Amino acid sequence: MKHIITLLLVITIALPSFAQETGKKNGEITTYYFIRHAEKDRSDKTNRNPDLTDAGKTRAIHWSEILQHVKFDAVYSTKYNRTMQTAAPTAEKNKVELQFYDPRALYSEDFAKATQGQTVLVVGHSNTTPAFVNMILKDKKYEDINDNNNGNLYIVTISNGTTTDQVLTIN
């Protein structure tokens, strides 16, 4: 009987460590970099899916240079020309295929699991970028980005259950 009680005690103590998610490691760090798409062509107000302007294409390349020392595991974009064109130079430099997220779903459980332990660039819009960051932070910390601002860089890091964030403006 004494051996059975000892065995049950050992199982009870050890069980939580076995119940952790597969692949989850101690000290695992997830880092998200968020930017808004670069300058879009505003010449046709009826075009809901414009391309980048020449200045926007230059900014997209500049983002890839600014982020050149960051090794991205994944680059995500919405399925709009302006976001895909902004994300493409960084995805190419990191030799990763551009992946897509739904701007109406943002930080889903599936997205969190798929990117856990990775360094990820997410390219969005003036409203979805801060909203995405706020969802990760579980706080409405950031407002929509001013329409003439294409230079914010939000960095969110999740490590050991602690989330930190910062925003830089790079013009």
**Ranges of each domain in the chain:** 22-169
What's the pLDDT at 171?
Answer: 87
CATH of domain 22-169: 3.40.50.1240
Q: Which contacts of 78-82 are long-range, i.e. CB under 8 A and separated by 24 or more positions?
A: 78/102, 78/103, 78/123, 78/124, 78/125, 78/128, 80/37, 80/49, 80/125, 81/49, 81/50, 81/51, 81/52, 82/37, 82/38, 82/40, 82/49, 82/50, 82/51, 82/52, 82/56
pTM: 0.84
Read off the pLDDT band of 27 (50, 70, 90).
Answer: low
What's the pLDDT at 26?
Answer: 53
Of 88 and 11, the structure prediction assigns the larger pLDDT to: 88
Instruction: Tell me: pLDDT of 23 over 60.
Output: no
What mean pLDDT is reported for the chain? 88
